[in-house]
Amino acid sequence: MKVFVVGANGQIGKHLVDLLKDSPDHSVRAMVRKEEQSEHLKKNGIESAVVSLTGSVDEIANAAKGCDAIVFTAGSGGSTGADQTLLIDLDGAVKTIEAAENLGIDRFIMVSAFQANNRENWNEAIKPYYVAKHYADRALLQSDLNYTIIRPGGLVNEPGTGKVTAAEELERGSIAREDVARTILASLTDENTYKRSFDLISGDTAIAEALREI
């Protein structure tokens, strides 16, 4: 499976690109915003495409042509205003969904936010981010794509353990970004994750087994 990673220069995206590059089963095309990011990837033998999520659906679609799956793990970042959250985390995600539909790329994995589906559990300090994630997820749910929506808890940069807890509703917790990337990789072809949404935090269960139990 050739995987188009949107947000490949982000912290989860970097982990995922490395995992896909080393995978015997998959290949990767990394979507980034800047030419220098693309040059760095090329030096490491990674195919890339320079596209902005503020661009058109057609631009995103042209970059994803020939791929079999799309992973959306882009984000505007914690230091930007609500306007960029709206443009990247919501409209950028919806445009990527539309691009997938236009190309006939059926498999789509969305990296969302913990409990983004439940308004009463949103973090008030970053409410615009949760609003964006909620409605981007809703657009994916209403599409005809074979989706998986992963809602990770608090993200940390510790080394991953390869063990998680995954369920449709969990108590708040944290998870290493590396383990989120590993869960995305495992979800790509795990039929138990098809048309499913779930929270994800660190735990005591190997990722493959945790996905079988959601």
- Which residues are part of the catalytic machinery? 129
Question: Degrees (nearest 5) of the Cα angle 111, 5, 63?
Answer: 130
Reduced to 3 states, what is the DSSP secondary structure of residue 122?
coil
CA separation for the pair 16, 30 (Å, rounded): 10
CA separation for the pair 77, 64 (Å, rounded): 23
CB contact set of 120 (below 8 Å; sequence gap of 6+): none
**CB-based contact 29:69 (threshold 8 Å):** no
Reduced to 3 states, what is the DSSP secondary structure of residue 66?
coil
**CB-based contact 93:72 (threshold 8 Å):** yes
DSSP string, 19-43: HHHH-SS-EEEEEESSHHHHHHHHH
